[in-house]
Chains A and B, each alone.
Chain A
Amino acid sequence: MEAKLTRKELLKNWALTYSSETAYNYERLQALGQANAMVPVIRKLYPEDKERQVQELKKYFVFYNTEPSFIGTMIPGVAAAMEEQRANGAEDITDETINSLRTGLMGPIAGIGDTVSQGIVYPILAGIACSLAIDGSYVGPIFFEIAYKICLIGFGWNMYRLGYQKGKSFILTMLREGTIARLTEIFSMVGLMVVGCMTASRVNIEIPMILNIKGVKLGIQEQVIDALMPGLVPLAITMLVYWLVRKKVNINLIILIIFVLGISLSYLGVLGIPK
């Protein structure tokens, strides 16, 4: 008799992968959550054989870490497809085949997933939502929650389905042809343009000093910087911080520097926020 996964198990498997970071830990990262997610699949494929269920689930206890919510759902999709083929007698699929594929995919997929979720979706939606909220509109957080979840579920479920339907050969081809690398780079480009735009709009700072040269008042910000390049101050500050990040300076130390410099330069009247 052929063991076939129905939409029900696939939905359960997909939904449960969202528990990947519940018992998130340094030793094996998302392994336990992945094992938890595979239970409905394995139970369906080996309904009578408890021992076999245990044996099949055990392989998911290896170290596993990817971006689990947006793009990374593809990997359990592929795993479910492979488990299904294996339960139906595809003997060339071993524990090692499944795990080496999962392990091989988790890095590149995390690259795209983190770029899409944290480099594009989050900054755009949060940027809009915060502006609304600061202006006193309750639409802000509610818009964020709804739009974010639409993106999460839209990406997550479709990537899972893609993984399940197209299976490993498709994904291996993508890896080999460099499609994943190309996609990562293109999403990164989009993300960079978004954060470039945000540097101008979100790093909201200027130099409010007014020089008094022989009785003529010269406003540094209005008359010098805005004439040269509006947004020069935010860009310069961002580049400075970027340089520190690139130098691998500890993030907490950078925060400390920002606090110390920000406070002292504010007291000296060098930096201020636009009125």
Chain B
Amino acid sequence: MLLSAILVAIISTVCNWWPSHLITRSWLYPIWSGFLVALAMGEPMIGMQAAAYINLAYLGWITAGGTMPGNLPVAAVFGTAMTILSGADPSLAVTFAVPFSLFGILTFQLTMSINALWVHRAEKFLDNGNIRAMRLMNYVPSGILNFLVTGVPAFILVYFGAEPMKNLLNMIPDSFVNAMQVVGAIMPALGIAMLISFMGNKKIMPFFFFGFILAVYLKLDVMAVTAVAAIMGFVFYNTGFLDMKPAGKEQS
């Protein structure tokens, strides 16, 4: 358990610290970071399925402009770990993950606020001609900070959590499990809604329904819909179709 706890703490730290997005960009997403946790805890199959259920609930969640509506990596790491520890059915993972995604908002706010200090330190180092120290300021303090706020809690959960988690699970009745599955099935609607409001405007909104109809009536899967959309996009780009303005009306 000690080794697992240490590994999970490292995963938790790295997927919030993002030392290089060449590696860590995909660690934001539960399907990968949760799978790493599953490997670290020696339960690859259950953990992977838990991670997948968590990820589906957060499909379409976006973090644009320095905002974090719910902390996906924290939800992924803690949710997957709790599912494994409690021995629950993987489809319950969402229930465990959501409260932690809220805890993750706190850790995100905390690091985003405190990290500003290192920028000032870095600037001072640069003024003194110490470029190397300036660069270290980008990595070292933010790494330590993330270890403290997300790594240590993950370690505590995995190291001490097994018994309490099992007890917690035994208290959950079956009807509540069904209810949680319903909640988990509604959650993707929120991600989709966030994406629509990020990308959509009046002019292109009909294409959302077009994609929906292709799936519902023609039973096309997502790759087929993407292919259709890409061809349309290509034609629209060349013809300037979407740039056209309605006749006799000022486009805002």
Contact = CB atoms under 8 A, between A and B. Distances in A.
- Chain B interface, DSSP helix/strand/loop, else mixed: helix
Interface residues of B, number: 111
B215 to A, nearest CB: 4
Contacts, number: 366
Interface residues of A, number: 110
Nearest to A182: B243
Contacts of B35: 133, 141
A265 B178 CA distance: 11
A69 interface: yes
Contacts of A145: 26, 32
Interface string A186-203: 111111111111111111
B196 to A, nearest CB: 5
A188 B113 contact: no
B160 interface: no
Nearest to B48: A133
Contacts of B226: 120, 124, 190, 193-194
A20 B59 contact: no
Interface string B55-81: 110011011111001100000000000
B138 A36 contact: yes
Contacts of B212: 196-197, 199-200, 231, 235
20 contacts: A19-B19, A22-B17, A22-B142, A25-B119, A43-B131, A126-B29, A128-B223, A138-B48, A149-B26, A190-B230, A192-B211, A194-B225, A202-B56, A237-B186, A241-B193, A258-B183, A258-B189, A263-B179, A266-B178, A266-B183
Interface of A: 15, 18-29, 31-33, 35-36, 39, 43, 50-51, 53-54, 57-58, 61, 65, 67-69, 110, 114-115, 118-120, 122-124, 126-131, 133-134, 136, 138, 140-141, 144-145, 148-149, 152-153, 178, 182-183, 185-205, 229-231, 234-235, 237-238, 240-242, 244-246, 251-252, 254-255, 258-259, 261-263, 265-267, 271-273
